[in-house]
Structure 1
Amino acid sequence: MACCGPKLSLCGLIISVWGIVQLALMGVFYYIEAVALAEDLPEIHEYQNITDFYSKMTMGYQQNAYNCWIAALLYLITLVICSSVEPAQGVTRFKHNVYLIIQLC
C-alpha cells in the first residue's frame, strides 16, 4: 500500500540521502571534537577547574554526535519507506495493465 505518490517519494529519497550524508558527517566531526562546531555545544556556565570544563565539553560533543547519528537513522528509515513506494506502485500498475489486456482479449 502506497503512502505517497511517485513525485513525493522521489523528493523524500533525495532529501533522505542528503540528510543521511550530512548528519553522518556532522556526527563524525562532533565525535572527533572539531573546534569549528564548538559554538553549537550546550553552554557551560559553572565549572570548578579546567579539567571539569574539558570533561563537560567532551560530554557535549559526544551527545551532539549521538543526536546526529540518531537523526541520520531516522532519515534512513524515511529512505526505506520512500524507496518501497515505487515498487509497490509499479506492481499495482502492472496488475492494472494485465487486467486491461485481459479485458481487450
Structure 2
Amino acid sequence: MMRGLICGPKCAACGVVLSTWGVIMLTMLGIFFATHSAVLIEDVPVKDDDIHQDTNPPQRIYELYNKVGYNCFIAAAIYVLVGAFSCCQMRLNKQKDYLVH
C-alpha cells in the first residue's frame, strides 16, 4: 500500500474537476462583489440599521460588498488547496498503478 494514498483515482479526478470549477466560479463572484455589481445586492447581508443609521449609506453597503467578495476569494483559495491535494492523490494513484503493473 502506498503511503499517503487516501482516495482512489476516480475520487481524485472528481476533486480536481470540482475544485477547478469552484476556483473559477468563486473568483468571478469575488470580482463581481469587489466591483459592487448591482445584480448581487440580494446576496449582501444588509440590515435596516446599515441603511437608516449610517450617515453615508453607500459606503457601508460597499464595505459589505467588499467583505463578501473577500470571503469568496478565501473560499477560492481553499478550493485551490483541495485541487492541489486531489492532484497529489492522482499522482500517487498513477505511481501505484505503475508499480503494480
Q: TM class by shorter-chain length? A: 0.7 to 0.9
Pairing partner for 1:48 from 36, 45, 53: 53
**Which range is displaced more, 55-64 or 85-94?**
85-94
Structure number with greater Rg is 1
Write the deviation string for residues 9-38 of structure 1: whole angstroms up to 9, x where unpaired.
111111101100000000000000000001
Superposition TM-score, scaled by structure 2 size: 0.87
Q: Does 1:80 find its partner at 2:84?
A: yes
Superposition TM-score, scaled by structure 1 size: 0.84
Number of residue equivalences: 96
> Which ranges in structure 1 are unaligned for 5 or more consecutive residues?
98-105
Identity %: 26
Q: Secondary structure at the match of 2:19?
A: helix
RMSD of Structure 2 on Structure 1 (CA):
1.3
Evaluate the alpha carbon distance shift between residue 49 and residue 60 of structure 1 in structure 2; reply closer, same or farther with a 3 A threshold.
Answer: closer
Q: Which amino acid in the other structure matches residue 68 of structure 1?
A: C
Write the deviation string for residues 12-69 of structure 1: whole angstroms up to 9, x where unpaired.
1111011000000000000000000011111231233562x11210110000000000
Q: Which amino acid in the other structure matches residue 19 of structure 2?
A: S
The equivalent of 1:103 in structure 2 is none
Measure the CA separation in 1 of the matches of 2:98 and 2:15. Answer: 24
> Which ranges in structure 2 are unaligned for 5 or more consecutive residues?
none
Pairing partner for 2:35 from 20, 32, 37: 32
